[in-house]
Amino acid sequence: MLVAIVVYGAAFGQPKAITNGGIGLFVTFVPALVERNYEIPLDPWLGVWITTAVFLHTLGSAWFYAQIPWWDHLTHALSASLVAGAGYTTLRAIDLHSDEIRIPSRFAFVFIFVVVLAFGVVWELFEFGLDIVAAETGIEMPLAQFGLDDTVADLTYNSVGALLVALFGQAHLTGVAERVREALYGALDERS
Cα separation, 106 vs 100, in Å, equals 18
State residue 33's pLDDT score. 86
* More confident site: 31 or 142: 31
State residue 101's pLDDT score. 80
State residue 100's pLDDT score. 83
pLDDT > 90? residue 147: no
**Confidence label for 118 from pLDDT (cuts 50, 70 and 90):** very high
Segment 61-74, tens digit of pLDDT? 877 888 998 999 99
Q: How many percent of the chain have pLDDT more than 90?
A: 23
Whether residue 20 contacts residue 5, with contact meaning beta carbons closer than 8 Å, is answered with yes
Q: How many percent of the chain have pLDDT more than 70?
A: 93
State residue 191's pLDDT score. 62
User: How confident is the model over 163-182, as a mean pLDDT?
Assistant: 76
Question: What are the extents of the domains in the chain?
Answer: 1-67, 69-192
Phi-psi region of 102 (alpha: psi -120 to 50; beta: other; left: phi over 0): beta
Q: What is the pTM of this model?
A: 0.79
State residue 121's pLDDT score. 92
Helix, strand and coil content of the chain, in percent to the nearest 5, comes to 85, 0, 15
